[in-house]
């Protein structure tokens, strides 16, 4: 079979081969390969789905079916900062809708050159496991609890103004957070450098610091 993954980085191609070899059926490697594809391009493009289909011996639409089922596989371009506002029940009761509206309108406020250069993507998500600290927000999957609409606006302004290379949950919590669900203790997080969730077994801790790839950072 002629591999069509030539536009993946060498590391990721090797990683893909290792992953496929670790399953008795090639198609079982589908999910981790989609994750590698996300590392490569920051989202799962149509081309990436074709690549994964070729690697796993299934059809592209079967890949798309899985990729589109799981919302953390992004199928469109994501900015350097992915701001996820939880709107599930606890956060909703804590005023998440206002937080979301505030974030969305402040994104509008910073539109223009600055936003185009380092765009922020906003999404609303279902429960992210921080109900005790509702309403909760994530930036590149790093958590902040007890966020108010005002703090959320400040967060967006801070992201736009300082453009942090590494997103650290403790730092954001201190600057923009409120009541926490409980004291998490000191995190050993290296922080997140890309809008990709951490997924240890397949080469990424803290949002792709190992992944590298072609994101140009």
Closest distance between another protein and the C-beta of residue 48, in Å? Answer: 12
Considering the complex, state which of residue 7 and residue 68 has its C-beta at the smaller distance from another protein.
68
Closest distance between another protein and the C-beta of residue 46, in Å? Answer: 6
**Closest listed residue to residue 143, CA positions, set 177, 120, 119:** 177
Residue with tokens 């050993």: 188
Q: What is the DSSP string of 69-90?
A: HSTTS--S---SEEEEEE-SHH
* Chain centroid offset of residue 69 CA: 16
Considering the complex, state which of residue 64 and residue 106 has its C-beta at the smaller distance from another protein.
64
Joined tokens for residue 46: 């149509």
Crossing angle of helices 60-69 and 46-56, in 10° steps, is 120
Q: Give the footprint of another protein on residues 45-104 (CB under 8 A).
A: 46, 49, 58-62, 64-65, 68-69, 71
Task: Tell me: does residue 116 bind another protein (CB under 8 A).
Answer: no
Total binding residues toward another protein, as defined by CB under 8 A: 12
SS3 15: helix
CB distance 154 to 113 below 8 Å: no
Q: Give the footprint of another protein on residues 7-46 (CB under 8 A).
A: 46
Considering the complex, state which of residue 63 and residue 153 has its C-beta at the smaller distance from another protein.
63
Considering the complex, state which of residue 46 and residue 109 has its C-beta at the smaller distance from another protein.
46
- What are the residues binding another protein (CB under 8 A)? 46, 49, 58-62, 64-65, 68-69, 71
């Amino acid at each position: 079979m002629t591999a069509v993954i030539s536009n993946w980085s060498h590391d990721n191609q090797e990683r893909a081969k290792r992953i496929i070899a670790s399953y008795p059926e090639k198609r079982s490697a589908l999910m981790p390969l989609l994750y590698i594809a996300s590392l490569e391009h920051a989202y799962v493009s149509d081309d990436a789905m074709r690549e994964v289909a070729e690697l796993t011996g299934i059809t592209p639409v079967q890949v798309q079916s899985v990729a589109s089922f799981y919302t953390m596989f992004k199928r469109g371009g994501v900015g350097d900062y992915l701001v996820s506002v939880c709107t599930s029940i606890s956060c909703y009761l804590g005023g998440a809708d206002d937080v979301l509206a505030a974030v969305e309108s402040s994104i509008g406020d910073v539109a223009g050159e600055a936003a185009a250069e380092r765009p922020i993507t906003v999404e609303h998500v279902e429960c992210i496991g921080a109900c005790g600290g509702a309403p909760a927000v994530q930036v590149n999957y790093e958590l902040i609890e007890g966020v108010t609409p005002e703090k959320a606006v400040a967060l967006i302004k801070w992201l736009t103004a300082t453009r942090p290379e590494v997103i650290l949950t403790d730092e954001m919590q201190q600057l923009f957070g409120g009541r926490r669900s409980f004291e998490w203790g000191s995190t050993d997080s290296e922080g997140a450098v890309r809008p990709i969730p951490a997924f240890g077994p397949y080469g990424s801790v803290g949002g792709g610091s190992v992944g590298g790839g072609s994101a140009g950072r």
